[in-house]
């Protein structure tokens, strides 16, 4: 399975949206989680922010951002998704490019420190993972120099941060690799190839490590929280399609593995509710870096008067 095959679920028009399960955290869907964050940080809809969203998909999360945006830059590596999001938001500037290339293009165009809000929802694990491994016809192949990969991944996160204007935010959502659902997915994928030594949480750890380093150098202030919740499937069939299509990317080796099939079936049965719906235990890490807010902004009012 090549990288093109891996991405087929994103390229077939409408497939990802059909398979995607709503995720609820404390009874609040992820889109509402972002709306609440925006209201908390910016009050009423201001329509005054310059906003960039990477891995925008078909614009599900963009719906929350758009009312706050004066300008909107949207990037995704899928032509089908970029076409869909361009129809929804015709005034936005769109890029059909992976996040690494989109960041490079924006920085080359002089957009450093020009965005009030830079976002990536659920998507950063993919570009970070590409620094460490690649998909070939023979399977997943780790890059030989993992230390160099870590350095490039660190620089990638700092590249995102370079786009943020003073006083602006980098806002990221990442899945919780330690949730029961993600542990099952990790076990399945490791039957194809192992993840780096740190396990499947390594992408989140890289983001946090890079932002902590930036904070320690006085670039801003990092806030990191984790929320538990569920991915809700209306039926066992919908839950199975979620695993096969989104988690396993229809990878032939995963779909043909009887042990994986049995484990997924048992997992779905365990979390099936009396009404036939399936509440898959999930979790989200909310990562917010405010640029230029450290250290003065953390002092009590009047202390410097």
Q: Is 186 inside a domain boundary?
A: no
CA distance 141 to 134: 5
Q: Is 155 inside a domain boundary?
A: yes
Q: Is 237 inside a domain boundary?
A: no
Q: Is 114 inside a domain boundary?
A: yes
Q: Is 77 inside a domain boundary?
A: yes
Q: Is 213 inside a domain boundary?
A: yes
DSSP assignment of 141-161 equals EE-S-HHHHHHHHHHHHHHHH
CA distance 94 to 84: 11
Query: Residue 131 sits in which domain range?
Result: 3-177+198-230+282-295
CA distance 232 to 279: 5
Query: The domain that contains 156 carries what CATH number?
Result: 3.40.50.150
Strand order in the sheet with 23-25: 28-29, 23-25, 220-233, 278-291, 164-175, 115-121, 49-54, 69-76, 93-96
| Overall number of domains in the chain | 1
Per-residue pLDDT of the chain (305 residues; tens, 9 = 90+): 444 455 555 555 556 678 889 999 989 999 999 999 999 999 876 789 999 999 999 999 999 999 999 999 999 999 999 999 999 999 999 999 999 999 999 999 999 999 999 999 999 988 998 898 776 655 567 778 888 999 999 999 999 999 999 999 999 999 999 999 999 998 998 887 777 666 678 899 999 999 999 999 999 999 999 999 999 999 999 999 999 999 998 888 899 999 999 999 999 999 999 999 999 999 999 999 999 966 666 667 776 66
Q: Is 115 inside a domain boundary?
A: yes
CA distance 250 to 245: 5
Token readout for 132 is 């460490």
Q: Is 305 inside a domain boundary?
A: no
């Amino acid at each position: 399975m090549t990288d093109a095959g891996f991405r087929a679920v994103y390229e077939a028009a409408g497939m990802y949206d059909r398979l995607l399960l709503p995720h609820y955290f404390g009874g609040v869907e992820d889109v509402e989680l972002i709306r609440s964050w925006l209201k908390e940080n910016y009050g009423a809809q201001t329509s005054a922010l310059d906003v960039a969203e990477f891995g925008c998909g078909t614009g599900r999360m963009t719906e929350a951002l758009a009312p706050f945006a004066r300008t909107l830059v949207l990037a995704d590596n899928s032509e089908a998704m970029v076409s869909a999001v361009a129809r929804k938001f015709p005034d936005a500037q769109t890029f059909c490019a992976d996040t690494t290339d989109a960041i490079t293009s924006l920085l080359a165009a002089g957009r450093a420190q020009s965005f009030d809000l830079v976002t990536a929802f659920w998507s950063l694990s993919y570009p970070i993972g590409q620094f460490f491994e690649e998909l070939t016809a023979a399977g997943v192949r780790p890059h030989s120099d993992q230390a160099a990969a870590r350095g490039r991944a660190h620089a990638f996160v700092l590249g995102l941060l370079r786009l943020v204007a003073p006083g602006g935010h980098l806002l990221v959502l990442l899945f919780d690799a330690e949730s029961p659902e993600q542990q099952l997915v990790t076990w399945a994928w490791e039957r194809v190839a192992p993840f780096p030594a740190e396990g499947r949480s390594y992408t989140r750890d890289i983001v946090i490590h890079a932002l902590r380093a930036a904070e320690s150098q006085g670039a801003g202030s990092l806030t990191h929280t984790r929320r538990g919740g569920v991915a809700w499937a209306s039926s066992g069939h919908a839950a199975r399609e979620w695993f096969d299509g989104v988690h396993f990317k229809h990878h032939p080796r995963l779909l043909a593995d009887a042990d994986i099939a049995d484990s997924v079936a048992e997992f779905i049965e365990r979390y099936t509710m009396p009404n036939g719906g399936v509440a898959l235990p999930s979790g989200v890490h909310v990562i917010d870096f405010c640029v230029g807010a450290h250290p003065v902004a953390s002092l009590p009012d009047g202390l410097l008067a």
